[in-house]
Chain A
Amino acid sequence: MANDKIRNFCIIAHIDHGKSTLADRILEKTETVAIRDMEDQLLDNMDIERERGITIKARAVRLKYTAKDGEDYIFNLIDTPGHVDFNYEVSRSLAACEGAILVVDASQGIEAQTLANTYLAIEHDLEVVPVVNKIDLPSADPERVCNEVENVIGIPAMDAPKISAKMGINIEEVLEKIVTDIPAPQGDPEKPLKALIFDSYYDSYKGVIIYVRVKEGRVKVGDNIRLMATGAVFNVVEAGFMDATNLVNNGSLEAGEVGYIAASIKSIGDTQVGDTVTNDECPCDEPLPGYRKVNPMVFSGIYPADGAKYGDLREALEKLQLNDASLSFEPETSIALGFGFRCGFLGLLHMEIIQERLEREYNLDLITTAPSVIYKVTLTNGEVQYIDNPTNYPDPAVIQVAEEPMVKASILAPSDYVGNIMELCQDRRGVFKDMKYLDDTRVELHYELPLNEIVYDFFDVLKSRTKGYASFDYEMMGYVPSKLVKLDILLNGDIVDALSFIIHTDKAYSRARKIAEKLKENIPRQMFEVPIQAAIGGKIIARETVKAMRKDVLAKCYGGDITRKKKLLEKQKEGKKRMRQLGTVEVPQEAFMSVLKLDS
């Protein structure tokens, strides 16, 4: 297949703007999928992806399209993750393409996420093809949206296809645009192999399957390939492409093509997204630019509610890690919660997804601790420590400087909500940078925010204060010195390690009060009074008391019928398992979870 008949592209869209539906229509139109095999939204094949309407992992599929010029074209559609947590993966997917279809909702217009990814695409020199979707909706205003695309992004949009992916309207126009507007790939198949890894997953029969875009040279079955960042060498067992449902092993791939390689790779840790694949005997001079190792940003302790399930939790995490090299975990123990794992995530969504998959796919009942970011602490002796677990926070007396990570945040919302948004960002210690009107009714705000202020519930609160209209995106911008303190929670005078966290001094009092109140609501009255205290160092800054229970008695034991009392004893025994015994205090797992959701 000549390179000039290949088109490599991805689709950029905000959640719910119709990316997956459009992808499905394209698959259908190119008859890649027989109608009987069509399942709604084929590319998003994890349950959670479908439910949340997001793509977690990138996928790629090869399609054949006969254009109006009578020629047959090969389309490689690379589906990209649509969330900020997976920004790096997005950038690698974009690097595998020559063009991007920008899908914009005809009634909602551009969102923060779309904008961020579109800028990313333009940075990668991709040809951006705007498409206005959902024109069938009564509230659709395609003209306004085209104007917005031209004004905000600065690309021509007046002749953008106006489509309804759901109803199948004008899909062919999109296909023709792909042929005419997106450039064919470049690259010399005779040069040494140079291929970009943009995704990988673990297959229990074939080992790790890596998804690649071949930039130069060719790769075929039997070749020894070297992954340049890790240095690992493997023998190629399969090389080919993906149709909508299967891997098709056609023996080789060459410059310009998108496909997969299977090489009996055991560990996904060897195949890092962004790495360059080359030929071991005849390597290229230097790897493709842009590779970096992704590091977790957000950490949280994950514990089984039932301590006996510790082994099951480990197994589940190991299985998830097979397909998700960005998930990290290390065993940790907590006095309060027993044996568990300190897990690292790319961001909040990533964390939620992992927790949800553990609970749903592995049937585990979990207790998680408050998410923490990595703090950088310079000690008085000059030593620098990175702290991802509040329990390990050093004594303030030996801290010279404490620093916290900051992000550049961009928020898009209708202008009516600017006041609410500013209030929220200010409350979260945000520093206002600038504000732009995208059109008469929509604004884009830029803030610098501490990451630890957004890891709890920022996005939820932002949504509720803007009636769901705001969209939000952020990128890391490094560390700044900050006045941080470690806040401890004490029950009956003893510190509960799982509830400690690090916080800015100014926020400590109000957070301490809220946590104490929440715990009071969620710890049932028991035999002994339970004092709840929040403390910084030795100083108590908030306190509540769970009063002792007064009445807990089965008064009657009539006619020698003690079955009810026996049942109660059994129930009490069972109930004990659901409770965490901390000294004399019994704490239900809900109490640990309640402090994660402090509405502000």
Chain B
Amino acid sequence: MSTLGIYIHVPFCGKKCAYCDFYSVNWTKSQAEEYVGAVLRNIRHYGDCGAKVDTVYFGGGTPSLLSSLQLESIMTEIGRCFSLDSDAEITLEANPCTLTVDKLKELRSAGINRLSIGVQSMIDDELKTLGRVHSAVRAEQAVTDAADAGFENISCDLMIALPDQKKESLQYSAERLTALPVQHISAYILKTESGTPFDCEEIRLRLPDEDAAAELYLEMVKLLEERGFMQYEVSNFAKRGYESRHNSRYWKCSDYLGIGPAAHSCYKGKRFAVERDVADFIASEFQNITVTDESPCGFEEFAMLRLRLKEGLRLSDVSEHRSDIEKKMPSLIKDGYAETDGERIWLTAKGFLMSNSVIEYLIF
């Protein structure tokens, strides 16, 4: 039986962060209600009892703005329409401020067993610059409360190459965060997206330059690995056994079905995206999709995605291109961008930093 991951995009935020360009709108109670109704309709529409769902991911937006009842109804519907694995990884992205002790208990009973908390930094000035509403202390509280509520798989986001960020401030955030009961860290290099409030001269002048950002990234990899968080993808680190099963689907060309405005899918041999419009999502009987790729996971895409993972690319999986790749490997290895055991090639932290160029070099 094939397995499937389901991604639910929850497009609501209490407040939009200054760097964010994901699709979200202001939360209103009535629209959230209608939205949940549409999600349920779509789950029924795609329903397939033969598909074994072993990961569910509520992403956003701020999914923790949904009530526990709403989340529970969605989980129940997934359980009715698909074959939901008893051991499924069910993740919810959450803003620290929304995670009260009561809310955490309800989330547990709704079936959520993994939290991805948007901590970003443990320095209040940095959080303020990012436009985050929580403080470092509030984030700490949310994590410990979650652990107390029984969550054994907690992931936190951390951002690097922030305005004014120095090695010391990154160290401080990393140390304080890894001292908490967390098992997984997603650490992203900030990218200034055009059209966001961060896309301005004032911020750009405060950003670390290319070399400094590279140093910060390498420093962070070192810090996290020293503390037992092993890098398994360009931006993801976990204690052994806590790698995100849902996100790994993206890198491994496994099937995932996305529901909700702006959600993406790789499902039944096609990639498709849902219209970025919550009103349209609510009004339509079934979500409107645009097919972006009729035959995904060709060589270039497959190799590009696999090389984002620490386990790298198995050469026997790309046998037609194997000799081309092997010809190019020595110079990459010599310069410390990649390593090989003869069967696989994988990128080092230095290689991950340059992954666009390295991957281009390897596959074209």
Q: Which chain A residues border B9 with CB–CB below 8 Å?
A: 559
CB-nearest residue of chain B to A547: B211
Nearest chain A residue, comparing its CB with the CB of B358: A527
Q: A573 touches which one: B249, B301, B308, B364 (CB < 8 A)?
A: B364
- Whether the pair A560, B356 counts as a contact (CB closer than 8 A) is no
Closest B residue to A528 by beta carbon equals B335
Contact A551–B213 (Cβ < 8 Å): yes
- 1/0 per residue, CB under 8 A from A, across B303-321: the answer is 0110010000000000000
User: 1/0 contact trace for B175-198 toward A, CB 8 Å?
Assistant: 000000000000011010000000
B256 touches A (CB below 8 Å)? yes
In-complex Cβ contact of B356 among A554, A559, A561 (8 A): A554
Alpha-carbon separation in the docked complex, A561 to B274 (Å):
11
| Inter-chain contact A555/B273, CB cutoff 8 Å | no
Tell me if B292 is interfacial: C-beta within 8 Å of chain A.
yes
Contact A555-B337, Cβ < 8 Å, known A549-B354, A569-B300, A569-B360: no
- State which of A553, A558, A563 has its C-beta within 8 Å of the C-beta of B273: A563
Whether A551 lies near B354 (C-beta < 8 A) is yes
A561 CA to B296 CA, complexed, in Å: 13
**Closest Cβ–Cβ distance, residue B31 to chain A (whole Å):** 20
Whether B224 sits at the interface, judged by CB under 8 Å, is no
Whole-angstrom CA separation of A105 from B271 in the bound complex: 72
Residue of A nearest to B211 (CB): A550
Q: Contact check, A561 vs B264: say whether CB atoms are below 8 A apart.
A: yes
Question: Does chain B have a CB within 8 A of A552?
Answer: yes
Question: What's the tally of chain B residues with a CB closer than 8 Å to chain A?
Answer: 46
B250–A557 touching, CB < 8 Å: yes
Residues of B close to A554: CB separation below 8 A? 191, 355-356
Query: Does chain B have a CB within 8 A of A52?
Result: no
Looking across the interface, which residue of chain B has its beta carbon closest to that of A584?
B331
Is B361 an interface position by the 8 A CB rule?
A: yes
Could you tell me if A552 and B305 are in contact, using CB atoms closer than 8 angstroms? no
Does A566 reach chain B (CB closer than 8 Å)? yes
B251 to chain A, nearest CB (A): 8
Which positions 325-342 of chain B face chain A at CB distance < 8 Å? Answer: 331, 335, 337
CA distance A291 to B308 in the complex (A): 72
Interface string of A532-554 (1 = CB under 8 A from B): 00000000000000001111111
Q: Output the least CB separation between A382 and chain B (Å).
A: 48
- Write the nearest CB–CB distance from B299 to chain A, whole angstroms: 11
Is the pair A560, B335 in contact by a Cβ cutoff of 8 Å?
no
How far is B322's CA from A396's CA once the two chains are assembled, in angstroms?
A: 46
B266: nearest chain-A partner, CB-CB: A560
Q: Is the interface of A mostly helix, strand, loop or mixed?
A: loop
Interface residue? B22 (CB, 8 A)? yes
CA distance A568 to B356 in the complex (A): 8
Contacts of B293 in A (CB 8 A): 566
Q: Are A561 and B273 in contact (CB under 8 A)?
A: yes
Which residue, of A526, A552, A560, has the highest number of chain B Cβ atoms within 10 A?
A560
Which of B59, B271, B301, B331 is the one whose CB lies under 8 Å from A559?
B59
Interface string of B104-146 (1 = CB under 8 A from A): 0000000000000000000000000000000000000000000
Cβ 8 A contact of B357, one of A549, A559, A561: A549
A293 within 8 A of B: no
Q: List B residues 60-93 near A (Cβ within 8 Å).
A: none
Q: In the complex, what residues of B have CB within 8 A of residue A573's CB?
A: 364
Least distance between B311 CB and chain A CB atoms (Å): 16
> Which residues in chain A, 265-280, are within 8 Å of chain B measured between CB atoms?
none
A122 close to B (CB within 8 Å): no
**B191→A555 contact, CB < 8 A:** yes
Residues of A within 8 A of B263 (CB): 559
Residues of B near A563 (CB, < 8 A) are: 264, 273, 292
Would you call A556 an interface residue if the criterion is a C-beta within 8 Å of the partner chain's C-beta atoms? yes
Shortest beta-carbon distance, B353 to chain A, in Å?
5
* Max chain A Cβ within 10 angstroms of own Cβ: one of B256, B356, B361: B356
The answer for the CA separation of A550 and B352 in the assembled complex, in Å, is: 10
Shortest Cβ distance from A529 into B: residue: B335
Would B335 and A527 count as touching, CB distance under 8 A? yes
CA distance A568 to B355 in the complex (A): 12
Q: How far is the CA of A289 from the CA of B308 in the complex (A)?
A: 78
Contact of B235 among A556, A561, A569, A572 (CB under 8 A): A556
Tell me whether B354 and A559 are in contact (CB under 8 A).
no
**Chain A residues whose C-beta falls within 8 Å of the C-beta of B292 in the assembled complex:** 563
Cα A496 to Cα B18 with chains together (Å): 47
CB-based contact A565/B304 at 8 Å:
yes
Residues of A within 8 A of B355 (CB): 552-554
The verdict on B210 contacting chain A, using a C-beta distance below 8 Å, is: yes
Instruction: For A525, give the chain B residue with the smallest CB separation.
Output: B210
List A contacts of B304 (CB < 8 A).
Answer: 565, 569
- Tell me, in angstroms, the Cα distance from A528 to B235 when the chains sit together: 23
A560 CB to closest chain B CB (Å) equals 5
For the complex of A and B, the 8 pairs showing the least CB-CB separation, nearest first, are A550-B214, A555-B189, A561-B264, A552-B356, A527-B357, A551-B214, A572-B360, A560-B250
Given contacts A551-B214, A562-B250, A563-B273, 12 further A-B contacts (CB under 8 A): A528-B335, A552-B353, A555-B189, A556-B191, A559-B7, A559-B263, A559-B264, A562-B305, A565-B304, A566-B293, A569-B300, A572-B364
**Residues of chain A whose beta carbon lies under 8 Å from any beta carbon of chain B:** 526-528, 548-563, 565-566, 568-569, 572-573, 576, 584
A–B complex contacts, Cβ < 8 Å, 21 sampled: A527-B335, A527-B357, A549-B354, A549-B357, A550-B211, A551-B210, A552-B354, A553-B354, A553-B356, A556-B235, A558-B22, A559-B57, A560-B249, A560-B256, A562-B250, A563-B264, A568-B356, A572-B356, A572-B360, A576-B360, A584-B331
